[in-house]
Structure 1
Amino acid sequence: MQQQLTHEETFFTEQKFPITLLCDGITYQPNIGSVFRICEAFGVAKVIFVGENIALTPRKINRTSRATHLQVPHQVAKLEEAITLLQGAKDNSEIIALEITDKSKPLKDISLNRNKPVVVIAGGEVNGISEVLLKLANQTAHITMYGKNSSMNVVNAVGIALYEITNKIS
């Protein structure tokens, strides 16, 4: 018979990865809370929320973040700041845009250098990744889907991407 383990009983080893998640226009508070939770679970070093008037309201975020918004380093940046950050990181980081495009490849097929930090760009709930940030990516990857729908919730997509990326670099 199997026994379900509590958080304190799990055998997982805490680990931090040199991964920054750049959230372009993710504004829905429950998604923001869930982004924190999934990033904490995958040992993401930092989260950057890009856009105007992004409210990180603890009361609205805490239900889905389960207090992980207090544990994951994060900041809010304007689009111009994000562009500058990515331009500075382009040569010494692997920048991966998580988006379906005519040039994207399946997430499982991306190549990573374990010695380079990774920046994952995830787009907002409605418009995806802005064109200017998409152009700054070294690689564009999509999640292969088998149904008629060609999109999924941004947090689900980020979770799948972080699982694949952390497995590749660990």
Structure 2
Amino acid sequence: MANKKLKLDELNRVDPETFKQQKKHPITVVLDNVRSGLNVGSFFRTCDALAIERIILLGITPKPPHREILKSAIGATETVEWIGMETNSELIEFCKEQGLPIICVEQTEESKEIQRVNWELPCALVFGNEVDGVNDELITASYFCAEIPQFGTKHSFNVSVCGGVVLWDMIRTLITK
């Protein structure tokens, strides 16, 4: 017998109100000056799918109800908690107050490949600008930096793809402990 694709009503997903009440993975995703609303919307969708606690939209990162965010988020801006912040110092202070070590997803001299990271929660996971990456001030404030190993000619992944890979790796390792 052929494998049958499930219909939407067969996926057993929770409704938005139940989702808001359910326990989340204590990860705060930080988008550091991410320019594209489509990338931001993709992060919202990924954070909804993986039950991530919140997103912080830092600096010039577009904020809902931006048209591009809504287009790719497909309603996830209504289910995932988000906070807008203007400055790095505001973020760093928030993380200190909340007891969130900052982990930057960035290629540095000392970054750890994600498969070698012993993820511990809670944490703030920072993803950077599509061209310039994570701001140096946040790298300096971070507990460590993590990167995805790459084997091709390009030097980086699209930021929303990177987010999906890293967040899934975190959740996968945490649920299999």
- Partners of 1:86 and 1:53 in 2: how far apart? 18
> Per the alignment, in what secondary structure is the counterpart of residue 61 of structure 1?
helix
Q: Confirm whether residue 4 of structure 1 aligns to residue 13 of structure 2.
A: no
Q: Confirm whether residue 101 of structure 1 aligns to residue 102 of structure 2.
A: no
| Aligned-partner residue type, residue 73 of structure 1 | E
For structure 1, the residue ranges without an aligned partner over 5 or more in a row are none
Percent identity between the aligned chains? 25
> Per the alignment, in what secondary structure is the counterpart of residue 31 of structure 2?
strand
Structure showing greater relative contact order (alpha-carbon pairs closer than 8 Å, 6 or more residues apart): 1
Residue of structure 1 aligned with 2:51, choices 38, 43, 54: 43
Query: RMSD between aligned alpha carbons?
Result: 2.0
| Aligned-partner residue type, residue 110 of structure 1 | V
In structure 2, the residue matched to 1:24 is 32
TM-score, L = length of structure 2: 0.85
- Partners of 1:53 and 1:162 in 2: how far apart? 19
- Partners of 1:143 and 1:87 in 2: how far apart? 26
TM-score, L = length of structure 1: 0.88
Residue of structure 2 aligned with 1:162, choices 162, 167, 173: 167
In structure 2, the residue matched to 1:150 is 155
> Per the alignment, in what secondary structure is the counterpart of residue 163 of structure 1?
helix
> Per the alignment, in what secondary structure is the counterpart of residue 133 of structure 2?
coil
In structure 2, the residue matched to 1:34 is 42
Structure 1 moving runs of 4+ over 3 Å: 11-15, 52-55
For structure 2, the residue ranges without an aligned partner over 5 or more in a row are none
- 1:41-84 deviation digits (Å, cap 9, x = unpaired): 11111000100473433432221111111110001101131121
